[in-house]
A and B are shown apart, each in its own frame.
Chain A
Amino acid sequence: MTAYLTRRMLQAIAVLLLVTLIVFGLLKLAPGGAAAAVLGNGSTHQQFLLQYLTWLGRILHGDLGYSRRLNESVSYLLAASLPRTLALMGISTLIALAVAIPLGLVQAVRRGRAADHVLRGLAYVFYGTPTFVLGAVLVLFFAVDKHIFGAEGPQAPGIVGVVTDVRDLTLPVLTLALVTIATFARYMRSAALDSLAQEYVEAARARGAGERRVVAAHVLRNSLVPVVTLVGLSFPQIVGGAVVVESFFNIQGMGWQIWQAVLNHDFAVTLGFTLVIGIGAVVGSLLADLGYAVLDPRVRYAQR
């Protein structure tokens, strides 16, 4: 396991270097900016590499750069944006998991019955609804009409302030969670149906195990592998934020900040935030792999 982890960590570093190199290159190709107007858009290959290595050297010393547009360090902007995004995306993902796993199981166990049809229909509706439409409907009903929840996301600076502001956190979390539940539940249903058709389930039933035990002990665990993959793939979003929801709910989180940075040619912020999102993607992928090993011993055997 240690050798496997070491190998994956080295791969992760290589991936991150590649991501930064690509983003650095793409940003260099983008036109515009005051410096470009003075110095010209073109630069030699040597200048590019030199700039990249200088930036990389600063990163290794903990300096993510400085935003001239916002007159703040990228680290400060990250510290301001990341807690909001982590709270928003993390809580919505946890809620989605807590709801989608049992929903998917119920659908699979009751396949073809009324509950399955109703839940599948709802999943299709939420899966196909854009977040800005869902957010607008929720805001109009719960905030503008009923004044139960806030029309914007939490504006508190720290993660504690964000998490404890239930009134303002509810609608953005609900908007994201409803769409995510629909996605996760569909994967869970499909995986559970596959598991229910496996021989080990038949064997458990033949041994006299009750339906609840079959589902809880055999179907659930084996059906979680695709969901773990999905959660692993969601990590870049959990770190990087959801631009549409953040913009709609006035949350200056990671997604909104990086979108503004790209629009305004804010080189330092775009690079710094991309690096953090890249780390999120790599960590998510790593955790997903570890999750497979925990859930399915065959994966561990295969690694030996």
Chain B
Amino acid sequence: MNSQGKVVLTYNTSYGGPVSAHHITTFTELPFTSEQTEYNVLQDPNGNQTIDVGYLPTVDAPVPPAGQLVGANPSSLSNYQLSVIYPWEISYFPYNFNNNTGQGKIFQQLYFRQAFQDLVDQEGVIDGPLHGYGKATIGPVSTYPATQYLSPQLAQKGDQWTLNIPKAGQLLRAHGWSVNPNRIDTCIRPGTAPGDCGAGIAAGAPLKFTLMYASGTDWMESAVRELASNASLVGMQVNLEAQSFNNVINATIGLDGEGWQMAYYGAWTYAPDYLPTGETLFESTAPNNYGAYSNARNDQLITASLDARTPSQFNTAMYNWQNYVSAQLPVVYEPNAPTLLEAIKGLQIGPQNSALNITPEEWSYRQ
């Protein structure tokens, strides 16, 4: 591996286990400065660096026909075969409930989280920048690939927070905010009574937030821009701050203090802890509960799922937990985007696993 990020792996000739007669002898990982750069090279078959297995940015993918999972390949990639991999993950971004600049108290209000989720247009992002590839996130368990872990009730309901800007405005207005489209809303009824802004929110507090996001993925950039635009229609100002992935992670794990408000790093893949139970992400003491979401009932339900003795008990506990926590909106749900993999014809890479692990030892090539 060199400092530019290029990695070369060669076949271990001492290996005595079973291998295909046509196994590959060298596996090289090439670094690219952006997904668009990689796509440009993928389309150039005469280049000094040709790519045998690459990725198709969703923004460049032809839209699949209705009801089909995979669409056509772009004409420039006629020598490649396209496959779609939905990782075993959920896509979301956390609120920082511990935020020390005033927004944390606002995030703690369920009505606010409901209003904010109403501003997220998951279906619009899937139809738009994701070009029909993607599934809405509706709770802590992914809806695709379909598994026994997903609550049937949730699966039946689907996305309960489809884009609804008027509803978001009504929710805010009903809880003491002056809703002024294209101006910043402020709290006009501070207090904790029904219809007030909520505990810890002072009169005149603005609905003004900073959403830090990991730059470099075209569809994510479109999604956050659309969210900021939708928010402005109900008088909420969402300032977008593009950062490197590392910086977003640094902020969410608290290396930059507790000043961060919302941070979108991408998705959480359930691997290597494949069971989508809540103790890793959503329990009050969970190591990856970066936003410090805390809810006693949620913790009890997670514990019940972990204490289950039989598969049946486990499934029931999982469904109870999901039905509860999904409605609590501990994070902002965003669409799950698949990986669009392009493999050059003749190269057999086998079925790809949902944890996105690469297994070149199983690849073989026959023209």
Contacts and interface: CB of A to CB of B under 8 A. Distances in A.
User: Do A and B come together as binding partners?
Assistant: yes
Interface of A: 31-34, 36-37, 41, 70-72, 76-77, 80, 139, 143-144, 147, 150-152, 154-155, 165, 167-168, 246-252, 256, 260, 263-265
A263 B49 contact: no
Nearest to B253: A37
A252 B31 contact: yes
B33 interface: yes
Contacts of A249: 37
Interface in B248-265: 250-251, 254-257
B247 A150 contact: no
Contacts of A143: 40, 43-44, 47
B246 interface: yes
A246 B33 CA distance: 8
A32 B247 contact: yes
B255 A33 contact: yes
Interface of B: 2-5, 31-34, 36-38, 40-41, 43-49, 76, 243-244, 246-247, 250-251, 254-257
Contacts of B247: 32, 263-265
17 contacts: A32-B256, A34-B255, A77-B3, A80-B3, A150-B48, A151-B40, A151-B44, A152-B37, A152-B47, A154-B48, A247-B34, A247-B37, A248-B33, A248-B37, A250-B37, A263-B243, A264-B247
Contact of A250 (B32, B46, B251, B254): B32
Given A150-B47, A151-B44, A250-B32, 4 more contacts: A36-B256, A76-B3, A77-B3, A150-B44
A42 B44 CA distance: 50
Given A144-B76, A155-B49, A265-B247, A31 B256 contact: yes
Given A165-B48, A246-B33, A144 B43 contact: yes
The secondary structure that dominates the B interface is loop
Contacts of B76: 144
B244 A260 contact: yes
A256 B48 contact: no
B33 A250 contact: yes
A248 B31 CA distance: 13
Given A249-B37, A250-B33, A263-B244, A151 B255 contact: no
A20 to B, nearest CB: 23
Contacts of B244: 260, 263-264
Contact of A256 (B33, B251, B256, B257): B33
Contacts of B31: 250, 252
Nearest to B74: A144
Give 3 closest A-B pairs by Cβ, nearest first: A151-B40, A263-B244, A151-B44
A167 B37 contact: no
Contacts of A33: 250, 255
Contacts of A252: 4-5, 31, 33
A133 B91 CA distance: 31
A274 B49 CA distance: 31
Contacts of B251: 32
A152 B2 CA distance: 19
Nearest to B40: A151
A70 B2 CA distance: 9
B40 A139 contact: yes
Nearest to B1: A71
Contacts of A77: 3
Contacts of B43: 143-144, 151
Most buried by B among A76, A251, A260, A264: A264
A154 B34 CA distance: 16
B47 A168 contact: yes
A112 B37 CA distance: 42
A102 B36 CA distance: 37
Contacts of A34: 250, 255
Most buried by A among B2, B251, B255: B255
Contacts of A41: 257
A37 B255 contact: yes
A250 B255 contact: no
Contacts of B44: 143-144, 147, 150-152
Given A150-B47, A155-B48, A70 B3 contact: yes
Most buried by A among B31, B41, B44: B44
A250 B257 contact: no
Contacts of A72: 3
A152 B250 contact: no
Nearest to A154: B48
A151 B256 contact: no
A72 B243 CA distance: 23
Nearest to B246: A264
Contacts of B47: 143, 150-152, 168
A192 B47 CA distance: 43
A247 B32 CA distance: 9
Most buried by B among A143, A246, A256: A143
B257 A31 contact: yes
Nearest to B259: A31
Nearest to B255: A37
A246 B34 CA distance: 11
Nearest to B45: A147
Nearest to B256: A32
B178 to A, nearest CB: 33
B48 A32 contact: no
Contacts of A256: 33
A168 B41 CA distance: 11
A32 B256 CA distance: 5
A151 B247 CA distance: 29
B51 to A, nearest CB: 10
A32 B260 CA distance: 12
A246 B3 CA distance: 17
A41 B45 CA distance: 49
B342 to A, nearest CB: 14
A144 B4 contact: no
A77 B43 CA distance: 30
A194 to B, nearest CB: 42
Nearest to B5: A252
A40 to B, nearest CB: 10
